[in-house]
Amino acid sequence: MNMTLTRRYRFAASHRLHADALSEEENRKLYGKCNNPFGHGHDYVLEVTVEGVPDASGQIADRAALDGVVREQVLSRLDHMNLNQDLPEFQTRVPTTENLATWIEKMLLERWDLRARLARLRIAETDRNAFELETAK
């Protein structure tokens, strides 16, 4: 029977939402205070959900292997970073949490060697905002 396992991770990062193609005024209107020139930080909470069938050990996934791929591919690149300046990806794309979720999915799948399938990512940016990405079956 298919079951899911969700692990929760935290990282702190700063960003500024700003589209170069738009005027200063359009950027302010579109992104509000998230467009403030010097950026701001968030304590992001990332939840990674994997789906699979328990093996002979009675587990869907090796938690250490899951933590390892999340740490190496994602947390080590994001924690205490400025998303706009430290990540090549966000020198051309706006580091919204939607775009961040897509980037995290890509990074995890590049090195995914778990038997369980990556099923869902959830990123809480603040207490009021959380984004979920269902990965393709």
Question: Applying CB under 5 A, which residues contact Ni ion?
Answer: 34
For residue 118, give the amino acid letter: L
When the beta carbons of 128 and 137 are compared against Ni ion, the nearer one is: 128
Residue nearest to Ni ion (CB): 34
Rounded least distance, CB 135 to Ni ion, Å: 24
Nearer to Ni ion, 27 or 49 (CB): 27
Tally of residues, the chain: 137
| 125 and 131 Cβ atoms separated by less than 8 Å | yes
For residue 18, indicate whether it is catalytic. no
3-state helix, strand, coil in the chain (%, to 5): 35, 30, 35
DSSP sequence for 60-95: SS-HHHHHHHHIIIIIHHHTTEEHHHH-GGGGTS--
Which of 34/108 has CB closer to Ni ion? Answer: 34
Residue of 24, 26, 40, 80 marked active site = 80
Query: Active-site residue among 15, 34, 42, 105?
Result: 34
125 is an active site residue: yes
Catalytic machinery residues:
34, 80, 125
